[in-house]
Each structure stands twice: as C-alpha cells, then as structure tokens.
Amino acid sequence: MSGFYGAVKFIGSDQDDMFISGGGGRVAANNNANPVEIHGGKGADTIDLTASGMPPSGQDMRYCTLTYVRGDSEYNNYDSVSGFQTDKKSGDALYLPTKVVFGDVASGQSTGIDNVTYGAKDGIITFTGKASLEQLIEAALSDNIIGDATSTAAFEYRGDTYVIQGDGVAGAGTNDLVIKLVGVTGVTAFGSTAADNTIVLTDHVLGVFTGS
C-alpha cells in the first residue's frame, strides 16, 4: 500500500495479515492530508511502515496510528512492526485499549525468574540477568510486574522493543497485548506527543503535523 492521500484506514482479518507501505504512512501530505490508521486484527500480522524518500524539513508529514483491541496481537502470537518511528518529527502512535503507563520501580526487583531482576522508569522495563524472550514476556505479565493491572510497559530485547499491555488479569492470556517494534532501540518513555526516543500512546487517530 502506497501513494495514498486523504483519510485512510486499513483493517485486517482474523488471520496473519501483511501490510507493506513504501511511503510508510508518512508520505508527503497533499494539501489537507488526513490520518492513516492500520488495524491488523487478530493473528500475528506483519506491518511494514518503512518510509522511503521522507519529505524535506518543514513539509507536512503524516502520523500512522496502529490500532489494537483486546484479542489482537496476543502474547504468544504477536504483530511485528517494522519502520515504527520514535522521534520528535515523525513519531508514529499506538492506539491501545488504555493509555495507563506502568509506574516507576526501583531496580533489583524480583521477576520470578532465577537470577533475573528488573526496574522500571516511565514505563520502560530494564531486566538484569539472562532469560529467554518468552520468559521475559510472561514475567512482565505476571504478578511480579504488571499483574492484574491494564498498564502499558516496554522492554528492549536483542535489538527490538516489545510493548506489553495487561488485560486486568494476572498472568499471560489471550487478551494481553504484545507488539514487537522491529529494530527500535533506545526508547526512554511513553508519551502523548512525539518526542525523541518516545513511544506515543493515543486515544484517537492522529492527524498531520508540520516538522521544523
């Protein structure tokens, strides 16, 4: 999908879908360009927002909002999103069931995994010790970390960032959300507006902004 203008919404099926955009949902705006929204639905979707030929500084650019509801992108069958931007001029956004961010926790806390501890700041979890990705996802959703809350957290693992939101029931389940942001590293916070090293959480489909 590429070369589109105006309000655009892409909705996937209950299967493993693939969305690929040469313009990444951030193509040059044409006059009053409108939002782009992708809702992959159930299944392990592949979403490629990789942009080619970004517009020059000062030209209107478009946000791409990725929408998720409970039952999408499950903890053991999650979406992979390439090209997700986390900088102040071209930040994409996640529209999740809630915008609640996991609170700060001092380092050295138990994860329930032998010899692995964690701390958190501004929703970003830092694990210390060795564990598999599956172990860390399950630990994040356990009573030791998110538990029975519906808060959102993220952690980095081997060059990718994983966004996790609990469903209000402790332990990994099909209504928990896990989203893999391929190649995203160095995230320091969640926020409601675009900023460097920030994952934007929104409660509506974002529109166009102008870079500077």
Residues 104-148 have pLDDT tens digits of 999 999 999 999 999 999 999 999 999 999 999 999 999 999 999
Residues 79-91 have pLDDT tens digits of 999 888 898 876 6
Q: Contact, 168 vs 70, CB < 8 A?
A: no
Q: Among 20-29, 74-83, 95-104, 196-205, where is mean pLDDT lowest?
A: 20-29
Which stretches does DSSP call E strand in the chain? 8-11, 18-20, 36-39, 46-48, 60-62, 64-67, 79-82, 93-95, 105-110, 117-121, 124-128, 152-157, 160-165, 177-182, 189-191, 198-201, 208-210
pLDDT band per the 50, 70, 90 thresholds, residue 59: very low
pLDDT band per the 50, 70, 90 thresholds, residue 35: low
User: Is the pLDDT at 25 greater than 90, yes or no?
Assistant: no
- In terms of Cα–Cα distance, which of 86, 84, 98 is closest to 150? 98
Residue 186: count other Cβ atoms within 10 Å of its Cβ: 10
User: Average pLDDT over the chain, rounded to whole?
Assistant: 80
3-state secondary structure of 135: helix
User: Is the pLDDT at 56 greater than 50, yes or no?
Assistant: no
Backbone φ and ψ for 51, nearest 5 degrees, come out as -95, 140
Q: Are strands 46-48 and 79-82 parallel, antiparallel or unpaired?
A: parallel
User: Is the pLDDT at 37 greater than 50, yes or no?
Assistant: yes
